Structure 1
Amino acid sequence: MRVLTCILMLLFGGLVILVEPVSRDDIESYIRAPFALGAALYENGVYSLLNSGGADAGYVFESKPLAPLSGFSGAPINMLIVLDLEGRFLDVQLIEHNEPIFVLWLGEPLSTNSSSNTGAFRSRIPSLSEPRTAMQQAGRHWSIWTGLQKRRQVVRIVHESVMGAALTVAREKMQGLATAPPAFPDPDYQEELNWQDLIDQGIATCKVYTNAQVDALFDGTLWEDDDPEPQYSPDDPYLDLWVVDVGPKAIARAALTTDSYEEVQRFMEISDNDELILVIETVRHGPVSEDFVRNTTPDWISAEQSGLPVALRDADLLVELADNMPDGVAMILRTDRRLGFEPSREWVLKVLAVREHGMFQPETGSVTLDVAHISPERFFDRPEQIVPAPPWLEALRNRQLDLVFLGVFLAALLAV
C-alpha cells in the first residue's frame, strides 16, 4: 500500500511538472477592450496588462501553471485571471476543464463556450486587499450559480485555483499587498514531547459540542425535530473532535506510532508543500460521511483562515495513533501552503452537522461547528523574503560609477 501511494504521488508530481501555459495568442483572445496583453513577465504564463494608453494596468495569468489543483477528473481546471495593480480582480474566465460532473451527469453549464458562465465569475471574485466581505459576496453568488449540491466541490476547487494563482502573483509583483511566504515545519527543530505535552501546551486542540448545543443551532428550521438524541441525552457529546498539525516532526512523533510517523515523513519528502492535519473524532458524528471516497475533499470538513477558504484533501495515509491517544476515528488531511495557508497563524476547522427531513427524497439541512486551532511558532521556519529595493536606490546603484567620479570632481573643485 505504501509503495503504491508513493508511486501515485510521484506520477502526480510528474504531471504537475508537465503543466505548460497556453500560447500567447490564446491568452490574447481572452483580453477585453480597452485592455491589451503586454509583455511576458515569467515563463509560467504571467503577462502584463496594458490600458488603452499603453501603460501598465495589471497582470494576466492562468491558474493551471501556478496552482495546478486537480478536479474530480484528475486534471486541473484552468482559469484566466486578470488583476489590476492594487490586487482587484478585473476578470476571471474559464479556459479549460474536464469535470465529469458537468460533462456527463448534469449537462454542461461549466463551459468555455458560454459567455453566461464565464460571466458568472467576472468581477465577482474577492479583492486580495478585502478578502472577507468579498468572499461572502462571491460565496452567495456561486451558491446560486451551482444550483445543485454535487457541483459545489468543483466550484470550491475553481475558487482555490483562482486564489492560489493570484496569491502567487501577488507575492512576486505587489509590494505592500502581497503576503509573506508561508511558514513551513523546521526540519532541524527537535523537542521531546508526548501526548499529554501536546494537550498541556495547547498544541492539540479539542472541541466538544453536546447534543443540546447542536439542537439549538437547528431551532426554527425545518430540521429542528429530526434528531431524537437531544431529547433523551442532551448533555451527551455530539462532536468530540481533536485537531493536531503533524507537519512538525516533534508533534508527529508524539501523536503517531513509529510506522505512521515514518510514513508521514516519506509522504512529506515527496509532497513537501503540503501541511498535514490530524483529526480524531471520538463520538457519534464522525469526521466524514459513509459516502466519502479516500483521497478526495472531505464532505463534512472544510477550513478557513483570515476569511479565506483553505483547501483540504484526504492524504490517504493509514493512521496508527500513539499510546494514550483518544480512541476514535482518525484521518490525516493535507493542504497546500502555496495556496496561502499559514500553519503558524490561527485557522478554523469547520464541521458540518447534517440532518435529513422526510422519508421519501428527504431534504438535507446543515449547520457549521467551528474548531479554532493554532500551532506554536517555534515549530516552524519561513523562507527568507527578498524585498525589492525602492526605485530611487536602484537608480543610485546603476549610476554608482558616475557618482564616484562626480564626488571626486566636487572634492577637487572645493579644494581649488
Structure 2
Amino acid sequence: MTCWLALLCSCLPARAGVLTKPELVKRFPAPLMVGDKQADLPVWPLFKQNATATELVGYVFESIDLAPLPGFAGVPINLLVAIDPKGSFLDVAVLSHHEPVFLDGLGEAPLFAFVAQYKDLSLKQHIAIDSKAKRLRAPDAGHAYLDGVSKATASVRIINQSLLSAALKVSRKKLGFAQGSDPDQIARIRSDMFEQRTVAQLLDAGLIRHLRVTNGDVEKLFAGSPGAGLDREALARPGDVFIDLYLAVASVPTAGRNVLTAASWNKLQNRLEEGDHALLVMSSGRYGILADDFIRGSVPDRLVLKQDKLPIEMRDLDLEMAFASDSPLPDASVTVLRVIGQAGLDPARPFDFTLPITRNKGIVYPERITRDINFSLQVPAQFYIAPASSDKSWPGIWSSRRAELLVLGAALALLSVALLLQKRLTANGVRFAWFRAGFLLFTIGFIGYYAQGQLSIVNLTGVLQALLARRSLEFMMFDPMTVVLWGFTAVSLLVWGRGTFCGWLCPFGALQEATGKLAQWLKLPQLRIRAHIDARLKLIKYPLLALILGSACLAPALTDKLVEFEPFKTAITLNFVRSWPYVAYAVGLLLASMFVYKFFCRYLCPFGAALALLGRFRLLDWIPRRAECGAPCQTCRHRCGYQAITPAGAVRYDECFQCMDCVVIYNSDEKCAPLILEVKRARTIPIVRAINS
C-alpha cells in the first residue's frame, strides 16, 4: 500500500506554499510583526518595533516555494524557515511531509528533533550531517555538524538540501549575499557545445584544475602550531606525494566527454537534472577526499565548495566512472559529486574549493588542528551561456525606466545649457526667478517623489562598505536614476563645485528652499546669524561626515542609525509615512528653514559636507566679480541667503548653493551698485559756462 501511495504522490504536481499572513502572525506574535508577502519572491518580512524604530528581523518562507525537492516518497517536504539579515536560522519547522520512515516507522519525533538543530546555525557555515563527526568536532564559524537520524539517512539529506537551497536563494536576493546577485539570473552550461581536446588542453583551458601537495608542503602548513611534527611519514619522506588531485567540471561536455568513456558520460547524464552540475574528482597519494568511514551518497567533509563565500553542498553520486583510453589522469580514487540546480551555483563565477587537513593531538580528548589548502576553478566563458537580461537584472531595469531616464536627461541637459549661458539666463531677474522656481518644483516632484532620485550619504557608505569587503559595485546599477544623477554631479563638482547638486538637484534642499520662500512671502521674521557664529555652525557637518564614514569602516551596525541624521529617507523616500519621531525631526528641520534659510543644508548635512570637500577640486571660479565687490560694495554679501560671500567680496564656493542671486545682481544696472553709479555718471549733464556774444 505504501508503494502505491508513493507512486501516486510522485505523479502529483509539487504544491505551492500553504501559509497565509494570519497564520504567520500566530506563529510569530508580538513584539514581532509580519509584513506583506513580497512580490518578487514568496517571502514574508519580519519586523520588530525597537523604541521608535522599526527594524527588519528577518524573512519567513516555505521551502516548497523555492526548492521543491522530491522526498523519498516523491513529494517535496515543506519546511517553514525563518532567517535573520545575517543569514542565521531563526526557526525551522516541518509543515508537511510524506516520508514513509517517519509516518510508518520511527514516528515524527526524530524528524522534528532533526530540523530543530538548524536554529542559530548560519548559512555561512558548512553544515554537515554526521553524528560521529559532531561528537569529535566542535562547531565553529565555518563548520556546523548535525546529528543524523538512523534509518532515515536519505530523508534527512533531502531535507538538508531543500532547506539550504531555499535559504540560499532568499539570502542572495534579499540579504545581499553573493554580492546581491539574483539566483534566477545565473549562467547556464552550454550542453550543445563540444570540442575535442586533450587532457593537457583541458588543463590549459581551466576545465580541469590540478593540485599537487607533498608531505613537506603539509608540514609547512602546521609549522608553529600544536599540529607540527605529528605526521611521522611526512617527516620521514617530505618529498612524497600527499595528494595529487585533478578536479574537472564534468557537466561541461567538452570536459566530461573528453575525459570519460561514452558509456560513463551517458551514465552521468542520466543522473543529472536540468541545472545540475557534476564535479569529477580524481586523486592519488596517501590522502583522499573520502575518509575511511565515508558513507557513499553523502557529503564529503574533506572537500568544500564555496561561491561568493557561501558554502555550496556537493553530494557523492556513488558512480563508477571509466576514463577514455590513454588518459593520464589518476584513477586510484575517483568520485563524482553533484551540485543540484537549486543551490544556485553560477558557472560564470569562480568555484572556490577548500581541502581541509586535520591532525589530532592527544588520546582521550584529542585536540584537532586543521589547516586549509585553497584553490579555485573558473569555467571559460565560451562554455556557458550568460543570463539573458530581464526585468530582474539591471539592464532590464534600465530598459523599463527608459522614459524616466529620458525626462531626467533632458532636464539635466537644460540645466547644463542654462548654467553655461548664465549671463543670458540671469539678464532678466524675473525670468530667472521663474526658471529657478520651475526647476526646483521639478526636482521635488519628479526627481524626488516620483523617480526616487534623492542622493544621500547612504550612497557613500554603501560604496565604502562594498569596497572594504571587496564586493562588486554592481548593486548601484539597479538604481538608474541615482547612477545618472551621480554621474552628472561628479562632472558638475569639477566645473561648478557643490552648488549644482545642493542648489538645483537635491529634492530635500529644494523642499527647504520652498518652505523658506513661503516664510518670506508670509513675512515671517528671518534670522540672519552673525558671520562668526555662522562660520562655526557650518563646521558642524564635517565631524558628522567623519563620524558616519568612520562607523561605516569600523561599526557598520552603528552606521544604520547614524545615517538617519539625514531626513531624506523620511521626507522624500518614505513621503513622511514613518514613526512619529522621524517625521517630527524632518518637519522640524523644514520649520527651522522657514526662519534660518536652508538651516539643515548649511549647517548639518553630512552629504553636503562630502560634496563641499570634493567641490574644492572645481576648475572654475564661475561667479563674476568686479573690483568694487567688497570694497566698497556689499550688496551681494547682504543679499546672499547662504552667507557665502566674505566682507572682502570673495565667494566661498564650498558654501555656495548656486542660487545665482549674486549673478542676477551683477548683471542688473538696477541692483548692482557699481553699475548704478556708471548709469548715473552717463546721465550727468556737464555744466558749461555760457559765452556771451
Query: What is the CA-CA distance between 1:200 and the residue it aligns to?
Result: 3.0
Instruction: Tell me how far apart the structure 1 counterparts of residues 365 and 316 of structure 2 sit (CA, whole Å).
Output: 29
For 2:17, the equivalent position in structure 1 comes to 21
Instruction: Tell me how far apart the structure 1 counterparts of residues 352 and 270 of structure 2 sit (CA, whole Å).
Output: 27
Change over 3 Å in CA distance of 1:104–1:81 after alignment to 2: closer
Q: Give the aligned residue type for 1:266.
A: N
Change over 3 Å in CA distance of 1:227–1:159 after alignment to 2: farther
Contact 1:39–1:48 at 8 Å: present in 2 too? yes
Change over 3 Å in CA distance of 1:373–1:71 after alignment to 2: farther
Query: What is the CA-CA distance between 1:161 and the residue it aligns to?
Result: 4.0
Query: CA offsets per residue over residues 54-82 of structure 1, 9 Å max, x none?
Result: x9978542234313569999985834235
Q: Which of 194, 199, 211 matches 1:207?
A: 211
Unaligned runs of 5+ in 2: 1-5, 129-137, 149-155, 405-693
Change over 3 Å in CA distance of 1:144–1:193 after alignment to 2: closer
Contact 2:282–2:333 at 8 Å: present in 1 too? yes
For 2:604, the equivalent position in structure 1 comes to none
Instruction: Tell me how far apart the structure 2 counterparts of residues 392 and 289 of structure 1 sit (CA, whole Å).
Output: 52
Q: Which of 242, 255, 258 matches 1:254?
A: 258
Query: What is the CA-CA distance between 1:348 and the residue it aligns to?
Result: 1.7
Unaligned runs of 5+ in 1: 1-9, 127-134, 398-416
Q: Which of 324, 328, 331 matches 1:325?
A: 328
* Greater mean deviation of Cα atoms: 70-79 or 340-349: 70-79
For 2:191, the equivalent position in structure 1 comes to 187
Q: Give the aligned residue type for 1:66.
A: L
Give runs of aligned pairs for residues 3-402 of structure 1, distance below 5 A.
14=10, 18=14, 20-24=16-20, 25-41=22-38, 46-47=43-44, 60-68=60-68, 78-81=79-82, 92-96=90-94, 108=113, 111=116, 118=119, 120=120, 125=122, 135=124, 143=139, 151=147, 160-161=164-165, 163-167=167-171, 170=174, 177-179=180-182, 181-268=185-272, 271-323=273-325, 324-327=327-330, 328-358=332-362, 362-387=366-391
Instruction: Tell me how far apart the structure 2 counterparts of residues 290 and 73 of structure 1 sit (CA, whole Å).
Output: 31
Contact 2:279–2:337 at 8 Å: present in 1 too? yes
Instruction: Tell me how far apart the structure 1 counterparts of residues 26 and 398 of structure 2 sit (CA, whole Å).
Output: 34
Query: What is the CA-CA distance between 1:331 and the residue it aligns to?
Result: 1.0
For 1:5, the equivalent position in structure 2 comes to none
Instruction: Tell me how far apart the structure 2 counterparts of residues 19 and 221 of structure 1 sit (CA, whole Å).
Output: 53
Contact 1:183–1:383 at 8 Å: present in 2 too? yes
Contact 1:356–1:363 at 8 Å: present in 2 too? yes
Q: How many residues are aligned here?
A: 359
Q: Give the aligned residue type for 2:61.
A: F
Instruction: Tell me how far apart the structure 2 counterparts of residues 357 and 73 of structure 1 sit (CA, whole Å).
Output: 44
* Greater mean deviation of Cα atoms: 184-193 or 249-258: 184-193
Instruction: Tell me how far apart the structure 1 counterparts of residues 371 and 162 of structure 2 sit (CA, whole Å).
Output: 24
Q: Give the aligned residue type for 2:300.
A: P
Contact 1:38–1:49 at 8 Å: present in 2 too? yes
Q: Give the aligned residue type for 2:93.
A: I
Contact 1:298–1:312 at 8 Å: present in 2 too? yes
Say which structure is richer in strand: 1
Instruction: Tell me how far apart the structure 1 counterparts of residues 322 and 87 of structure 2 sit (CA, whole Å).
Output: 44
Query: What is the CA-CA distance between 1:376 and the residue it aligns to?
Result: 0.8
Query: What is the CA-CA distance between 1:384 and the residue it aligns to?
Result: 2.1
Contact 1:45–1:61 at 8 Å: present in 2 too? yes
Q: Give the aligned residue type for 1:338.
A: Q
Instruction: Tell me how far apart the structure 1 counterparts of residues 355 and 254 of structure 2 sit (CA, whole Å).
Output: 27
Query: What is the CA-CA distance between 1:203 and the residue it aligns to?
Result: 2.1
Query: What is the CA-CA distance between 1:363 and the residue it aligns to?
Result: 4.8
* Greater mean deviation of Cα atoms: 142-151 or 290-299: 142-151
Task: Give the TM-score, by structure 1 length.
Answer: 0.69
Instruction: Tell me how far apart the structure 2 counterparts of residues 244 and 259 of structure 1 sit (CA, whole Å).
Output: 18
Change over 3 Å in CA distance of 1:104–1:137 after alignment to 2: closer
Q: Give the aligned residue type for 1:303.
A: L
Q: Give the aligned residue type for 1:278.
A: L
Query: CA offsets per residue over residues 213-243 of structure 1, 9 Å max, x none?
Result: 1112223444323211122210111111111
Query: What is the CA-CA distance between 1:358 and the residue it aligns to?
Result: 4.2
Change over 3 Å in CA distance of 1:65–1:294 after alignment to 2: farther
Query: What is the CA-CA distance between 1:314 and the residue it aligns to?
Result: 0.9
Instruction: Tell me how far apart the structure 2 counterparts of residues 82 and 150 of structure 1 sit (CA, whole Å).
Output: 18
Query: What is the CA-CA distance between 1:313 and the residue it aligns to?
Result: 0.8
Instruction: Tell me how far apart the structure 2 counterparts of residues 72 and 229 of structure 1 sit (CA, whole Å).
Output: 45
Task: Give the TM-score, by structure 2 length.
Answer: 0.44
Query: CA offsets per residue over residues 176-231 of structure 1, 9 Å max, x none?
Result: 94436221211222322222321233321101111011112223444323211122
Instruction: Tell me how far apart the structure 1 counterparts of residues 12 and 169 of structure 2 sit (CA, whole Å).
Output: 14
Instruction: Tell me how far apart the structure 2 counterparts of residues 222 and 81 of structure 1 sit (CA, whole Å).
Output: 40
Contact 2:125–2:143 at 8 Å: present in 1 too? no
* Greater mean deviation of Cα atoms: 278-287 or 33-42: 33-42
Instruction: Tell me how far apart the structure 2 counterparts of residues 256 and 359 of structure 1 sit (CA, whole Å).
Output: 44
Change over 3 Å in CA distance of 1:228–1:177 after alignment to 2: closer
Change over 3 Å in CA distance of 1:263–1:165 after alignment to 2: same
Change over 3 Å in CA distance of 1:188–1:92 after alignment to 2: same
Query: CA offsets per residue over residues 105-157 of structure 1, 9 Å max, x none?
Result: 9x958639xxxx84x35xxx57xxxxxxxx47999xx9269998554998986
Query: What is the CA-CA distance between 1:355 and the residue it aligns to?
Result: 2.7
Contact 1:247–1:277 at 8 Å: present in 2 too? yes
Contact 1:63–1:165 at 8 Å: present in 2 too? no
Instruction: Tell me how far apart the structure 2 counterparts of residues 298 and 339 of structure 1 sit (CA, whole Å).
Output: 17
Instruction: Tell me how far apart the structure 1 counterparts of residues 234 and 316 of structure 2 sit (CA, whole Å).
Output: 31
